[in-house]
Chains A and B, each alone.
Chain A
Amino acid sequence: MVSTEQIKSAGRGGRREVPRDFVFTPERASQYLEKDMKTIIAELQTVKGRDRLFEEFMKHEDQIRQEHPDFDPDILREQIDAQGEMRLAKRGLLEDANTPEKKGIWKRAWEAVKSFPRKHPFITTALILAAVAGGGYLAWKYLVNVIPVPDVAKPAAAVAEKVVAPTGGAFDAIPAGNIVGPAPAMPSYAPTTPPVDGGILGGVPPPQPTPVPSLKDIFDSPLKY
């Protein structure tokens, strides 16, 4: 059986640990259900197989709840289904990128992407994702705090300052929306009207900080993609 999983977190107050969300992965299923990975992957490919996986997991609900108090069976079911769908999508993308007629255009796309400046915040976002994925699957609560979707006008150092938790880094203690940016706003495509300054001096309003959407803001937004 799997042992309690923890996220290491440390702030100025020292090291502490917080429980992870429960996230379904084939590895975890293999550990909990004592089945080999091939069987789990095969079960993910069929409706019956996924039903079986879900039912078998639910037999361990009490134990899961001890380690993950926020465990939600509906989310588990969604994650099991998402595993099947995302595996299929990834296979399709890899096949597409490797077809002889598409190789050239993909190569040119990567050349353009690689020309981004080293510290461009978009690059920082991508690399943070790669860096933290090394811990296996990750908890959403962790990711929303670690991965900013940065204001591309600012250098990475400025993003780093925003990522630092004001209370010392305890992930569970900070509302996610407060960490990476002040405004939970998605980019608006609607035409905007410049602010009117009615002040007696008629001066220009001070520049407003560009909203920095957090990962949570992005996935909570009604924008479909």
Chain B
Amino acid sequence: MDAIYLTAGEQKLFDALPKTLSKGWQVEEEDQVYEDTKEKFMVRISLMNLRDPKLLALQERVKKTRSHEEIIPLVDQLSLADISESDLLELFFAMGPKILSVNIADLLKRASGPADMNAIAALTFIRRSILTSLLSASTQWSARNK
């Protein structure tokens, strides 16, 4: 993975990185624009179909909590490395492009090594794929509604 898909704003952050980090990456412009809304975000959460036993067990533990402050210690016991890739796709689709963009911008501001750059490139690829699917659906949806 040597391509990194950045918005115009993110490219400024990328350009400000030390050359040791930015060298070798093929920057491509992310120019897909999609209007995400909280209603769509809520629907995506409702469509999440998680099957990984570790996540299902986590959900069961969370159901027994008495307040939201009890959730993070439970969550901290897991890492994404433990989670199946099909469930990761479910999770990232639910998150959607807005949350991903906030994190990509933050990561660009704090990147300090090749692993960070790989992670940023991965997130931009995932965001691009999600945007493509959302825009495609939006176009098909509009066409059907005519």
Q: Which residues of A contact B (CB under 8 A)?
A: 8-11, 15, 23, 25, 46-47, 75, 78-79, 81-90, 92-94, 96-97, 105-116, 118-119, 122-138, 140, 143, 145-146, 149, 151-153, 156-157, 159-160, 163-165, 169, 171, 186-187, 189, 191, 213, 215, 218-219, 221, 223-225
Known interface pairs A160-B72, A164-B69; A108-B62 also in contact (CB < 8 Å): no
Q: Which one of A10, A75, A130 lies within 8 Å of B91 (CB-CB)?
A: A130
Q: Are B35 and A224 in contact (CB under 8 A)?
A: yes
| Central interface residue in A94, A122, A215, by most chain B CB within 10 Å | A122
Note all chain A residues with C-beta closer than 8 A to B132: 92, 96
Q: Are B41 and A219 in contact (CB under 8 A)?
A: yes
Note all chain B residues with C-beta closer than 8 A to A213: 102
Is B13 part of the contact surface with A, judged by Cβ < 8 Å?
yes
Is B18 part of the contact surface with A, judged by Cβ < 8 Å?
no
Is B79 part of the contact surface with A, judged by Cβ < 8 Å?
yes
Known interface pairs A113-B88, A132-B71; A224-B119 also in contact (CB < 8 Å): no
Note all chain B residues with C-beta closer than 8 A to A127: 58, 75, 78, 80
Note all chain B residues with C-beta closer than 8 A to A92: 132-133, 136-137
Q: Are B98 and A169 in contact (CB under 8 A)?
A: no
Q: Is the interface of A mostly helix, strand, loop or mixed?
A: helix
Note all chain B residues with C-beta closer than 8 A to A97: 89, 129
Q: Are B80 and A90 in contact (CB under 8 A)?
A: no
Is B17 part of the contact surface with A, judged by Cβ < 8 Å?
no
Note all chain B residues with C-beta closer than 8 A to A132: 62, 71
- Which 9 pairs show the lowest CB-CB distances between chains A and B? A134-B59, A189-B9, A89-B137, A112-B122, A225-B97, A88-B137, A137-B46, A93-B133, A118-B79
Note all chain B residues with C-beta closer than 8 A to A187: 102, 105-106, 109
Note all chain B residues with C-beta closer than 8 A to A87: 47
Q: Are A86 and B68 in contact (CB under 8 A)?
A: no
